[in-house]
Amino acid sequence: MRKFESVGIAVPDVLLPADANAAQRWAVVACDQYTSQPEYWEQVKKTVGSAPSTLNIIYPEVFLNEPEADKENRIRSIHRSMREYLDGGLFESREGLIYVERTVEGRTRRGLMACIDLSAYDYNRGSTTLVRATEGTILERIPPRVRIRKGAPLELPHILILIDDPADSMIGPLQAARNGMKKLYDFELMQGGGHLAGFLVDDPALENGVIDALKALSDPAGFQARYDLPQKMPVLLFAVGDGNHSLATAKAIWEEAKANGAGPDSPLRWALVELENVHDNALVFEPIHRVLFDVDSHRHILDEFDRFYASKVKRVPVADLAAMKALVASSDRRTHRIGTVCEKGCMVLEVTDSGAGLPVGTLQAFLDPFVKGGGAREIDYVHGADVVDSLGRKPGNVGFFLPAMDKNDLFRSVLLDGVLPRKTFSMGEAHEKRFYMECRRIG
């Protein structure tokens, strides 16, 4: 592993299935997708059958509420499958950065597989490290993931980390040189996931170009000028776009290993991720909506929302989902518009001067105490207007529809305001999320 600690990355040894024809059943979508749609995962299971697959070495979060004994059995099965895959000659090892192209919905997103230095990452509010979270970390979501990663011999990432590179200086040269690279995989993903291709960056000049681009982006003087910052601030080079809780889990494991004597050369210090440029035209920020399940029938949630924001709320009836989406999209800094969907239909809540910077902050400030106080059995974070509509209309449920944030505001918002409210944005909808493909040995 070649390390470039000044820019917080390393060149990994990547494990891929030796049989290229196995890729379509090997790769499955990120474990934190379709969490309220078990039928999706049942279809994945049917597609995979008995073939080697990442399905057998991840924990789809749709099953996180299963009984404790079933959780333990599932985790043991995950670790056992990992060891069987390692011992059975399934993998071929490649040392190098991997240039990745993901085509879905007619757009091709470009990325780079590399290892990120967990010593340069801190997810806490007020962090000044080179790698930072973009949104609040839900601490209670870390321990279940620790149980899965702890003792696991493999890691496989759905983590996407963003750089702010308007000139496309890091990934652009790799795209230009792709035809001269060794193609590692090139296939159609299951369940409408689009197409995935990966190319080995085995030219030292291209690798050095990546490092030079990151050094330029992390130059303190250039950083200060790029954001016209009011005061000198520590450089933010990498912002976690997707998979923050998985990266936080890797961080927790590394800190524990370090406390127990692990040295700086431990593989646990590093985490395999995909780097992407926030300015990639194919990268779309989608909102993450909310659905409450089994809302207490004795509580009138919209009335409670009105009282929570005193006289700042106006209810606006809308004819249908399309009208609701259009009105929500017109939110501005002062007036936050939030769509609601329930069995009786939909409407929009307009909140003026809520005190939050984004509509998601306005909504979450109300939902957290409401759910904690027993107002609903559960809250889920879902992608896609159709999903929030179908789930929200079921008896006893309420869905909340939010607008998307402007991706060009991301880095400056994190620098000036700190982390965003949790689950503020998603890089694409559920079927566009990262599929597991590459693995790396960590134990």
Residue-wise pLDDT tens digits, 181-237: 999 999 999 999 999 999 999 999 999 999 999 999 999 999 988 888 777 889 999
Is the pLDDT score of 53 beyond 80?
yes
**What value does the mean pLDDT take over residues 152-157?**
96
Q: 166 with 210, same domain?
A: yes
Q: Which residues contact 337 (CB under 8 A, 6 or more apart)?
A: 316, 327, 328, 330, 331, 348, 349, 350, 351, 359, 403
Domain-located, residue 415 = no
Q: 383 with 308, same domain?
A: yes
Is the pLDDT score of 393 beyond 90?
yes
Residue written as tokens 């493999």? 154
Q: 214 with 362, same domain?
A: no
For 252-283, the pLDDT digits (tens) are 999 999 999 999 999 999 999 999 999 999 99
Is the pLDDT score of 102 beyond 90?
yes
Measured at the alpha carbon of residue 36, what is the angle toward residues 32 and 42, in degrees to the nearest 5?
A: 85
Domain-located, residue 23 = yes
Is the pLDDT score of 142 beyond 80?
no
Domain-located, residue 421 = no
Output 126 or 271, whichever has higher pLDDT.
271
Domain-located, residue 183 = yes
Q: 265 with 396, same domain?
A: no
Q: 279 with 297, same domain?
A: no
Residue type, 97: L
Q: Which of 158, 136, 130 is nearest to 145 (CA)?
A: 158
Q: 171 with 275, same domain?
A: yes
Q: 60 with 165, same domain?
A: yes
**What value does the mean pLDDT take over residues 231-252?**
92
Q: 176 with 309, same domain?
A: no
Counting the structural domains of the chain, the total is: 2
For the chain, the maximum distance between any two Cα atoms, rounded to a whole number of angstroms, is: 66
Quote the percentage of the chain above a pLDDT of 70. Answer: 99
pLDDT, position 139: 63
Q: 216 with 318, same domain?
A: no
Domain-located, residue 229 = yes
pLDDT, position 425: 86
Is the pLDDT score of 119 beyond 70?
yes
Which range among 320-334, 373-387, 405-419 shows the weakest confidence by mean pLDDT?
Answer: 405-419
418: left (phi over 0), alpha (psi -120 to 50) or beta: left
Domain of residue 37, residue span: 2-284+428-441
pLDDT, position 365: 94
Domain-located, residue 409 = no
Domain-located, residue 384 = yes
Write the DSSP symbol of residue 135: B
In angstroms, the Cα distances linking 262 to 9, 42, 257 are 19, 40, 5
Q: 192 with 216, same domain?
A: yes
Is the pLDDT score of 66 beyond 70?
yes
Is the pLDDT score of 110 beyond 80?
yes
Q: Which of 216, 123, 121 is nearest to 169 (CA)?
A: 216
pLDDT, position 267: 96
